[in-house]
Amino acid sequence: MAPTAIYATTGSADFTSSQPAAQQSQAPQGPVLAIGSLTTASDEQYQRLVTGLSSDGSKGKVERQLIDRVLDGGMTLLAAHYSAIYIILSASDYAQLGTRIPSLIQVLFTSLQPHATLHLVSLSSADASRLRSELLLAGFNILPLVSSSSLIAQKPATAAAASLKSRTGALPLKRKVDGTSKAAKQRLWTLEAPSASTIDATALLTPSDLARPIPTCEPFLDGQPRRKKACKNCTCGLAELEEEETRAAEANQKLVAVDVSQNGGVTEFDAKEKERILKGLADIQAGKVTSSCGSCFLGDAFRCESCPYLGLPAFEPGQKVEIDFGSDDI
């Protein structure tokens, strides 16, 4: 721990002239930083502090900053740059700082040179007690002072010697790393050990696994009767065969027209005429075709060449025209 110093003070108001008598020979040289607030600037306390520091010939160049610029990062403090820092804030300023005080003290600690001092002036008793604890935790040495409204903290020559961990006497214990144990842990979490033998995947299959699966639909063989129809989700091709057979059966069906009159007969249509009639019926049922003459129901003698009813027997007006394929055998 750095040696303490005895102050020769001339009064609590003359905070700029108090210097450690035992350390005047080793006092750091460099600029001095004065930090204030809008509150202390409005009541001219900050101006008096700056004036007193500037009039002291033993101090270096005096730099001025407001506390909000330091906290918000508007001004970056250089590391190990200042020989002394003076802070004058009001009680309301310390109340607004709240939990930001430790971070502020750490920034100030970094910007001070070794053996440099931090001066906190115009403090209340509550603020002085709280700041004393925060300064000790940050690594400062609190120097004795007669005035109860001020605190002077000194940065030690080595920051590590004044840290909290060193104050408690605790030293970090480093465990010796064993290379063999580290490699064993890595092998523990690997998916496959280098010495593990390779397993043949086919050796894990049983004879039942290797057997050919039985299809849900039995394969269709020509010349043999089919025992069942294709299932709903057929994948063996039986559903396609049944669909092809259905289309072939429909194509081979004959279309006939029966005249139900006394001297009527049966008219059979060829495939082309059948396709035309069925298409016309589909259009009629879908509502795509309307009669322009209104005589389609009377028969072919009253129908035009493009009439969709051409070839169909006469029907009653408004009657739905249907063809019964069950009469194909007539």
Write down the pLDDT at residue 256: 64
Torsion, Cα 103 104 107 111, to 10 degrees, reads -160
> End of a domain among 164, 187, 222?
164
25 and 153 share one domain: yes
Pair 272, 153 in one domain: no
Domain end position, chosen among 164, 196, 226: 164
207 domain-assigned: no
**Is 191 a residue whose pLDDT tops 70?**
no
Average pLDDT over residues 162-169: 48
CA 73 to chain centre: 29
pLDDT above 70: residue 188: no
3-state secondary structure 172-217: CCCCCCCHHHHHHHHHHCCCCCCCCCCCCHHHHCCHHHHCCCCCCC
Assigned domain for 26 exists:
yes
Mean pLDDT computed over 202-221: 76
Contact 296, 306 (CB under 8 A): no
Within this chain, do residues 153 and 276 fall inside the same structural domain, yes or no?
A: no
pTM of the model as a whole: 0.43
pLDDT in tens, 234-275: 877 778 888 888 887 777 676 666 665 656 666 666 667 777
What CATH number is associated with residue 93?
3.40.50.11000
Q: Cα dist. 44→62, 64, 171, 264 in Å?
A: 17, 14, 48, 128
How many domains is the chain partitioned into structurally? 2
What pLDDT sits at residue 20?
A: 46
Binding-site residue ranges for [2Fe-2S] cluster = 217, 231, 234, 236
Residue 239: what pLDDT? 82
3-class secondary structure for the chain?
CCCCCCECCCCCCCCCCCCEHHHCCCCCCCCEEEEECHHHHHCCHHHHHHHHHHHCCCCCCEEEEEHHHHHCCCCCCCCCCEEEEEEECCHHHHHHHHHHHHHHHHHHHHHEEEEEEEEEECCCHHHHHHHHHHHHHHCCEEECCCCCCCEEEECCCCCHHHCHHHHCCCCCCCCCCCHHHHHHHHHHCCCCCCCCCCCCHHHHCCHHHHCCCCCCCCCCCCCCCCCCCCCCCCCCCHHHHHHHHHHHHHHHCCEEEECCCCCCCEEEECHHHHHHHHHHHHHHHCCCCCCCCCCHHHCHHHCCCCCCCCCCCCCCCCCCCCCCHHHCCC
Q: Do 25 and 158 have their domain in common? A: yes
In a domain, 158, yes or no: yes
Same domain (yes/no): 153, 32: yes
- The mean per-residue pLDDT over the stretch 136-153 comes to 84
The per-residue pLDDT for 86 is 92
Between 17 and 153, residue with greater pLDDT: 153
Task: Tell me whether residue 3 is in a domain.
Answer: no
Q: What is the pLDDT of residue 257?
A: 63
Query: Are 39 and 160 part of one and the same domain?
Result: yes
Question: 169 pLDDT band (50/70/90 cuts)?
Answer: low
Answer yes or no: do 156 and 49 share one domain. Answer: yes
Mean pLDDT of the residues in the chain: 73
Q: Is residue 153 in a domain?
A: yes
| pLDDT value of position 21 | 44
- State the average pLDDT over residues 21-33: 67
Tell me, what's the pLDDT at 10? 36
pLDDT tops 50 at residue 22: no
**Residues 37 and 159 grouped into a single domain:** yes
pLDDT confidence of 177, banded at 50, 70, 90?
low
Residue 329 has pLDDT above 70, yes or no: no
Kindly state whether residue 282 falls inside one of the protein's structural domains: yes
Longest CA–CA span in the chain (Å) reads 147
Q: Which residues are part of a known binding site for [4Fe-4S] cluster? A: 293, 296, 304, 307
Q: What are the tens digits of pLDDT across the range 64-105?
A: 888 888 888 777 888 888 889 999 988 888 888 888 888 889
Do residues 35 and 157 both lie within one domain? Answer: yes
Q: What are the Cα distances from residue 262, in Å, to 226, 255, 265?
A: 46, 21, 9
* Domain assignment of residue 95, yes or no: yes
Q: Both 27 and 141 in a single domain?
A: yes
Q: List the domain range (segments joined by +) for residue 51.
A: 21-164
CA atoms within 13 A on the CB side of 244: 5
Asked whether the predicted pLDDT for residue 314 surpasses 80, the reply is no
301 occurs within a structural domain: yes
Give tens-digit pLDDT for 101-118: 888 899 899 999 998 999
pLDDT on residue 93: 87
> In this structure, are 139 and 258 located in the same domain?
no
Query: What is the percentage of the chain residues whose pLDDT exceeds 90?
Result: 2
Q: Are 36 and 66 in contact (CB under 8 A)?
A: yes
d(CA 20, CA 23): 5
Higher-scoring residue by pLDDT: 187, 97: 97
Determine the pLDDT at residue 54.
85
Q: According to the model, what pLDDT value does residue 304 have?
A: 77
Whole-angstrom Cα distance, residue 46 to residue 64?
A: 10
Specify the residue for token string 């502020």.
104
Domain end residue (candidates: 164, 188, 209): 164
Whether 157 and 258 map to the same domain: the answer is no
pLDDT band at 55 (very low <50, low <70, confident <90, very high): confident
